[in-house]
Structures are given as C-alpha cells and as structure tokens.
Amino acid sequence: MVWTIGILLIGGYLLGSIPSAVWIGRWFYGVDVREHGSHNAGATNTLRVLGRRAALPVFVVDAAKGYGAVMLSHFTSCEGDALFLLKIALTAAAILGHIFPLFAGFKGGKGVATMAGCMLAIAPVPMLMGLATFVVVLAVSHYVSLGSMTGGVLFPVYILLVDGFGSPYKIVFGVLVAVVLLITHRKNIKRLREGTENKTYLFLRRPKGPRESKTE
C-alpha cells in the first residue's frame, strides 16, 4: 500500500507538471508566456499575453490535471478518512507540480486552475459555488486575483452550507485552500491595496502580440 500511494503521489506531481501555458504558447504562438506579463505559466497570464483563444485550453487542461490527480486515489483500496486524506495529498502533489513543473524547468504558475480541478473532484457543489463567486467578482471588479481569493476564502463557508459539520476533513481542506490562495496571492494583495493591480477584461480582443507588464 505504501508503495502504491508513493507511486500515485509521483503521478499526481507529474500530472501537475504538464505546462499547458508554456507548451500552447510555444507551439501555437511562438511565445513563452513566462517571458511576458506576470511571468507566470497560468491561464490568467496567458489571457493577458495571448488572449482568450489561448487561455481557455490552458485553463481546461490545468483544471483537468488537478481533477485527474485526485481521481488517482481510486486506484487504491483506501476508504473513508484515509481516502480523503490521500485526495488532499494528491491535491498538494498536483499543485506542487504546477508551481514547480518538471517539464518546464521548475518555473510554473500559481496553481489556481489546478486547485480548482482538485476542488471539483473533492467538493463539487461548494467548488461550483466558489466558481460562481469568482465570475461575479471578476465581472464587477475586473480583478482576477480578487475573484480567485474571494471564491477561495468563501469555499470553506460553502462546504459548511452544503455539508454542515459532518465532514471535518473537508472543512479543513477548504480552509487550507483559502490559506494557500491568500499566500500565493500576497503580491496581488499588496498591489490591490496600492491600487496598482492590473485589470483583466474578458471580452477585449486579443492583442496583436504579447504585452509586457511587470506589475501584472
């Protein structure tokens, strides 16, 4: 069992290491998104640098690899709390892979979309409520970071609303998600307070080429 779990955790990390933003940018646009914008290999920076057509598949792949990593837990005989803890461990492995991808020189993104995929696998209804929150906040404020953090912070609240206190491990998972999102967005929080955070408009046309911005 120990060897199986170890192999699955490695598999989760390797799934997380798939650098969709880097590969799509290079293969179809001849651009490494890590050299532009916020220098992150994620869907948000891809949107800013290359536009919606490139960002959508990046988001889908990043979310799918998080979902797939958690689903690896079903290749074991774990049940109950042990199964849930394994899912949390696989979530951590996938996010670690996204942030430090083996296939892209260990320079990735923040892991928000990958985390969303993991959340969908573990707590689908609360995650969809968090996603709705993200969309509303983004539509009103045009700040992706604010939408991500708001949805993440409310995620454990949504778990309580849906499941009550019947699943303490799920509540702990929700709190961990909120904390991780706040930590990974600490620079964004500073820029939001200073009024220097860049806005993202989903329905603008894709720019002619990659746009440079050191504050995104």
125-136 confidence digits (pLDDT tens) = 999 999 999 999
Taking alpha carbons only, the member of 127, 188, 117 closest to residue 152 is: 127
Chain segment 26-82, per-residue pLDDT in tens: 999 999 999 998 899 999 999 989 998 999 999 999 999 999 999 999 999 888 889
| Predicted pLDDT at 203 | 61
| Predicted pLDDT at 210 | 53
Say yes or no to pLDDT of 211 above 90: no
Measured CA to CA, the distance from residue 34 to residue 201 in angstroms comes to 20
Question: Which residues 6+ apart lie within 8 Å of 106 measured at CB?
Answer: 100
| Predicted pLDDT at 70 | 97
Say yes or no to pLDDT of 13 above 90: yes
Taking alpha carbons only, the member of 92, 139, 140 closest to residue 119 is: 92
Q: Residue 164, Cβ neighbours under 10 Å: how many?
A: 9
- Concatenated DSSP letters of 56-112: HHHHHHHHHHHHHHHHGGGGS---HHHHHHHHHHHHHHHHHHHHS-GGGTT-----H
The pLDDT of 194-206, averaged and rounded, is: 76
Measured CA to CA, the distance from residue 44 to residue 110 in angstroms comes to 10
pLDDT band at 204 (very low <50, low <70, confident <90, very high): low
| Predicted pLDDT at 1 | 77
| Predicted pLDDT at 122 | 95
